[in-house]
Structure 1
């Protein structure tokens, strides 16, 4: 019956129609009932949009609540894209920029095509790459891979690898890159994933965004494409006017379809600009003035290297972390260094928002809700702003006095600060660190020169940035305002290391009363190790025990203790002593460990205690570099072997493998000839290999001599030195250093206190041995090397002078110009030198030595005049002066603070003493009769 009805077409149509209705009904039920809530949310989200507003940055205060970093209101210019009609956008953009320029206000200019000083158009990406190459003396034509390889070889990193090895092995690439990044003065803007300059990658991305497929396009051509095709700017606008328009439109373009979001054009503008924009608001549709918080540092440079600086989210790592993971706006300012960077995430605060209704084209329809941002709270540092101020000012004053060889005078002493050879004109940088010996809290951390972090609050200008860059980039000791010397500079400690040698000797059983006769110098092989008094005046110090040896900084005494041998009488000391023991005690005082301070210190990741085994590896690398540069194919005998670069590298690898064996001279010569080196060349290379490298590869008595007085391979930061002093002062308790005391949240007023962390309690055989060492340091300031600096100070202190050798010549700003200026003294013609220089650079493109024009020119001069050597070429350069250290603690009989002072090229450790003295006077309240002004405790009573 049913089937018969289906034979009727009318019935079939009714059935199909009924089924369709049922399906539609079921679908409606699903949409409205089953998934109604889900679709409702989606519908609302397509209408309601949220515009985030950044929270004010957290405040930073010192330990007593003095403001170091806060926020102040500022005027910012915003443009609402949806409020400007297309026909007016060019006119509005040009008018706004003109007003800002007229009043000297900076605007956000990220458009990457600018006019150079020569008047041509260039990509800012290319300019930054070239500036980086110029900074590190890398030729313009070198690629990112070649530049990376040059720096790797220049700094002696993994010389056993080829660049091909590194590129093809991501783990090796990471290892080498991390070692390069750890070098304080070095930046590596090269991606190890693409092996391109990061600026090159940004350039390619920008071109693709503008649909420009030719990645090698000329900057002016790209400018015209953006002007005429992308923005369609009328021809009656000049290129200069068009670029101003493009600066604004480029910012608007980046917002895409999010027309409801305001785009910031300028920040922290003047009242004049605000007034003029408001007066012309009818002519400037879509332009709004908003009040926004701006970071403010009321004390200027005070504590700059601790506080750190700000900057835009820029590199890919920051974009991934802050924008994609944490929801920051791409235009947000973040902490780049210091505590601003370290506590960025924890104390950023809660962003506010405005909830708006937009149409399908993203245009603002209505404001629904406005929720204010909540500040993050307050970060209380361990710093004492007053002590910090005294540390910074005293450091600057003493440096300037040393530079002119003048007299430094305060109520606590009068001292002439002039070296034996005159003023120390290059004493232009230094650092001071002060800590609480009972907690590890950093009370002051000063570096000179410093900078004003206010410059970075809204983005630093190119003019201001250039003022912070050293004039002589080639000089590693040139003043660098942005460098945190206390954290990033690791050097030899000089005589301030001697207390560890003395303590190790006492712990091994040496009596404090055991006296060693100073005979002036000790002969080890062909080298003479003299006491400083012998070296200066050919005088000796007679018999001395540990106390006098520390006070007078007697090298002879510590040479003897370190080697377990009494050189004064020619017999062993009554104790067992070796390098393993000295290294063990160095480790006890944290000289191979991170200090624990919150700010990142890449230099501390590379242990500073000399590694006996590592010395051989270093020598291997140096030998490999020397042979690679000097053993050429022409040195090989074609009649014995097939000559090729591959064979040459194989021979070098074989020679380097003999380092541990250290064969006799005759055996080395025989092997070189058998390998295929020409006999006459083998004789030359034999002596170099044997005596300049193999003989230096193993740890020797001479190495121990240098180790004993803090010279040689030691390398420690000011932080490590001050913590070492604090550990001596407090009975052997080594605390982690800390800059943060507590954090108070704004919203719930909750407080998180950072308690002191005891890193290690040093186990000593006889704890009283520390008292013996400390007494010697006290004598340093009363009868020893620093007595003249502390005669008027009414507080007993313990201290130690240290002078660390800095060998070498100060490189000129431009090596090529230096050589040209003195060419007449080298007995060669400039035209001949320039021709040969170019030839050498072309023929030795793969040799890192010849990739620097200055180095190539030096080699050319030596080839043209064999009588000339490196000493001849450098004779007109000035010598580096020695580093000056002064470290210790105060008061001597009740230690409260430890202090470390370091001066670059200060010449003598004593010259750092006045800084130590003035800080002690301030801390002990000697500079004022009352501290009621700030409600501070009397520091004489703890």
Structure 2
């Protein structure tokens, strides 16, 4: 078809032949159409922004506000000062030293924490113990988790610090502070005050503990136990060698810690309650109690000392015959204790029998822990036929009949040798049983008080745990008489013969000089073989005073020290002198 000029230039003919009107031309799309499209996009974007704003302000508003606040606030822990440990006289055994702890490397956030200081260092190290940072392994334990401990908190690791952790700890507080973009604290927004830990008063006497440490031979190993016989309160517990707990409180390097652990002298080992040793002749006190109570012997029982007893190929001598070649003739129970006569106690053990002897030993506390609050207490060993039969079970032992109990075994145990093992704390406890008239008092490091006087600034009352052993009064009197004579001329405890002290509290004469007082004491020496290739012996000594109204008992062990009278007794004497000179 031919196009003529009659058609406007604005009319376009499609190839299909349809005419396109002027308002449908492409120029319209570049104008009004584009505006409509843009408006639609704007409306959609606006509604999207509104929806996003609703989501951020309403749906996630609380969360985002918290995040925003977190960017300008910080929560700091206010560490509670740990409760102070006091000795029985009111002296501080611990103190708290403030120190800064950086808690965030991103800003200058520092919390004030406290490090423990121990003024009596090694003299009370095993009793007081020490604190240290809570480890991840400890933090995983339920005890610490439910009490809301956190990594890095300081806790009691050993000793009284560990025993009384819950009382001493206190409660940490919190402080909410506002900070700027650089992390600088602008102001405090809120505070939950910390609550200091409560104080605890221990039974120990700090000055007496120092005397105990100073009295012990330098370089020697052993232990000292000092107690109040009527209650079981421990006035001093010293283990040698000891250590400085301040090193632990400040923080040890791994090398320093391993050095202590691997020290052959074992300074961390609490010998006073955890070491077990043959008690030697100090066990004759237990033999005497059992024999008199069971009727195997009495005050008139007489045993002739001929120097030794022979059973088949075996000879069991008296120490006096072995050392000096002398015998002591007829011996009664009082003289047997005074002279520590082995022959008398061999026979007493034989007449009594190992079963009854073991029963009384266990009744007095040998063979199981006594229950002191401190960790690491050993129970010792009271052997008997049943134990030996279970102990020696190898074919060689059975063939040699080593599993059977022989009279010689009884003889050895009767004088504190053989398989018998006790702790220094156990020796002190049966010494107290004689001193207090026949009661077994549970040893404690807590100060015992009456119902009318508080035990500590915290106001707690602590009572002693003593039970009557049912020992006859005559038994106590006979053993006490023997122990009294042991510390008089003719006895074995020669360092305490005519024991006298100067006491400044009691002046005398015109010169107002300290008076010299004689203090009657009751003691028992002990020298125990322990299989040393050089024939060394443990030195033991146990004593209480005054005899009529005992207020203190002292038990001493020096490992491999020799004879108890020569080595251990002088140590006990210095402690008694300090106590009665006040």
* Match of residue 328, structure 2, among 532, 541, 565: 541
**Counterpart mapping for 1:561-600 below 5 A:** 561-564=348-351, 577-600=352-375
Q: Give distance in 2, aligned partners of 1:389 and 1:380.
A: 18
The residue number in structure 2 matching 1:300 is 121
The residue number in structure 2 matching 1:874 is none
Does residue 787 in structure 1 map to residue 494 in structure 2? yes
**Counterpart mapping for 1:516-915 below 5 A:** 516-564=303-351, 577-604=352-379, 608-620=381-393, 623=394, 656=395, 694-741=400-447, 750-758=458-466, 760-764=467-471, 766-782=472-488, 783-793=490-500, 794-809=518-533, 879=534, 881-910=536-565, 911-915=567-571
The residue number in structure 2 matching 1:344 is 165
SS at match of 1:68: coil
SS at match of 1:601: coil
SS at match of 1:695: coil
Q: Give distance in 1, aligned partners of 2:121 and 2:138.
A: 30
CA-CA distance at 1:901 after TM superposition? 0.5
| Contact map agreement 2:135 2:152 (CA 8 A) in 1 | no
The residue number in structure 2 matching 1:110 is none
CA-CA distance at 1:880 after TM superposition? 5.8
SS at match of 1:301: helix
Q: Give distance in 1, aligned partners of 2:247 and 2:225.
A: 25
The residue number in structure 1 matching 2:106 is 82
SS at match of 1:495: helix
- Equivalences, count: 501
Using structure 2 for the length normalisation, give the TM-score: 0.79
| Contact map agreement 1:82 1:364 (CA 8 A) in 2 | no
CA-CA distance at 1:463 after TM superposition? 5.7
Q: Give distance in 2, aligned partners of 1:323 and 1:49.
A: 25
CA-CA distance at 1:503 after TM superposition? 2.1
SS at match of 1:67: coil
Distance 1:316 1:880, change over 3 A: farther
CA-CA distance at 1:358 after TM superposition? 8.8
CA-CA distance at 1:457 after TM superposition? 1.1
CA-CA distance at 1:914 after TM superposition? 0.9
The residue number in structure 2 matching 1:439 is 231
SS at match of 2:141: helix
CA-CA distance at 1:507 after TM superposition? 2.0
| Contact map agreement 1:355 1:367 (CA 8 A) in 2 | yes
Q: Give distance in 2, aligned partners of 1:45 and 1:340.
A: 40
Using structure 1 for the length normalisation, give the TM-score: 0.50
SS at match of 2:167: coil
Does residue 490 in structure 1 map to residue 514 in structure 2? no
**Counterpart mapping for 1:138-153 below 5 A:** none
The residue number in structure 2 matching 1:261 is none
Q: Give distance in 1, aligned partners of 2:165 and 2:373.
A: 13
Q: Give distance in 1, aligned partners of 2:361 and 2:523.
A: 19
| Contact map agreement 1:334 1:341 (CA 8 A) in 2 | yes
CA-CA distance at 1:470 after TM superposition? 5.4
Distance 1:290 1:795, change over 3 A: same
Distance 1:508 1:45, change over 3 A: farther
Q: Give distance in 2, aligned partners of 1:730 and 1:711.
A: 26
CA-CA distance at 1:429 after TM superposition? 0.7
Distance 1:912 1:357, change over 3 A: same
| Contact map agreement 1:884 1:912 (CA 8 A) in 2 | yes
Q: Give distance in 1, aligned partners of 2:464 and 2:67.
A: 54
SS at match of 2:291: helix
CA-CA distance at 1:515 after TM superposition? 1.4
Gaps of 5+ in 1: 1-23, 84-285, 401-426, 474-478, 565-576, 624-655, 657-687, 810-878, 926-930, 932-942
* Match of residue 72, structure 1, among 97, 100, 108: 97
Cα-to-partner distance string for 1:96-139 (whole Å, 9 max, x where unaligned): xxxxxxxxxxxxxxxxxxxxxxxxxxxxxxxxxxxxxxxxxxxx
The residue number in structure 2 matching 1:332 is 153
| Contact map agreement 1:322 1:328 (CA 8 A) in 2 | no
Gaps of 5+ in 2: 1-50, 450-455, 501-517
Does residue 508 in structure 1 map to residue 294 in structure 2? yes
Q: Give distance in 1, aligned partners of 2:373 and 2:326.
A: 47
| Contact map agreement 1:349 1:377 (CA 8 A) in 2 | yes
Distance 1:365 1:492, change over 3 A: same
The residue number in structure 2 matching 1:674 is none
Distance 1:364 1:611, change over 3 A: farther
CA-CA distance at 1:579 after TM superposition? 1.7
The residue number in structure 1 matching 2:194 is 373
Q: Give distance in 1, aligned partners of 2:313 and 2:184.
A: 84
SS at match of 1:500: helix
CA RMSD in angstroms, aligned pairs only: 3.2
The residue number in structure 1 matching 2:510 is none
Cα-to-partner distance string for 1:61-82 (whole Å, 9 max, x where unaligned): 11111011111223x3526333
Does residue 461 in structure 1 map to residue 253 in structure 2? yes
SS at match of 2:155: strand
| Contact map agreement 2:139 2:150 (CA 8 A) in 1 | no
Distance 1:749 1:715, change over 3 A: closer
SS at match of 1:703: helix
Q: Which has the larger radius of gyration?
A: 2
**Counterpart mapping for 1:1-16 below 5 A:** none
* Match of residue 923, structure 1, among 576, 579, 582: 579
| Contact map agreement 1:742 1:751 (CA 8 A) in 2 | no
Q: Give distance in 1, aligned partners of 2:155 and 2:75.
A: 22
| Contact map agreement 2:77 2:111 (CA 8 A) in 1 | no
Q: Give distance in 1, aligned partners of 2:499 and 2:186.
A: 76
SS at match of 1:82: coil
The residue number in structure 2 matching 1:254 is none
Q: Which has the higher strand share?
A: 2
CA-CA distance at 1:459 after TM superposition? 1.0
SS at match of 2:170: coil
Cα-to-partner distance string for 1:135-167 (whole Å, 9 max, x where unaligned): xxxxxxxxxxxxxxxxxxxxxxxxxxxxxxxxx
CA-CA distance at 1:49 after TM superposition? 6.2
Cα-to-partner distance string for 1:741-794 (whole Å, 9 max, x where unaligned): 279xxxx96411221112x21113x32111101110111110211124433432
Distance 1:43 1:757, change over 3 A: farther
CA-CA distance at 1:372 after TM superposition? 4.0
Q: Give distance in 1, aligned partners of 2:329 and 2:577.
A: 35
Q: Which runs of structure 1 show a deviation greater than 6 angstroms over 4 or more consecutive aligned residues? A: 38-49, 362-366
Distance 1:315 1:533, change over 3 A: farther
Distance 1:592 1:40, change over 3 A: farther
CA-CA distance at 1:289 after TM superposition? 6.2
Q: Give distance in 1, aligned partners of 2:318 and 2:139.
A: 53
| Contact map agreement 1:470 1:480 (CA 8 A) in 2 | yes
| Contact map agreement 1:319 1:330 (CA 8 A) in 2 | no
| Contact map agreement 1:889 1:899 (CA 8 A) in 2 | yes
CA-CA distance at 1:909 after TM superposition? 1.0
| Contact map agreement 1:455 1:464 (CA 8 A) in 2 | no
| Contact map agreement 2:122 2:243 (CA 8 A) in 1 | yes
Q: Give distance in 2, aligned partners of 1:769 and 1:804.
A: 25
CA-CA distance at 1:324 after TM superposition? 2.5
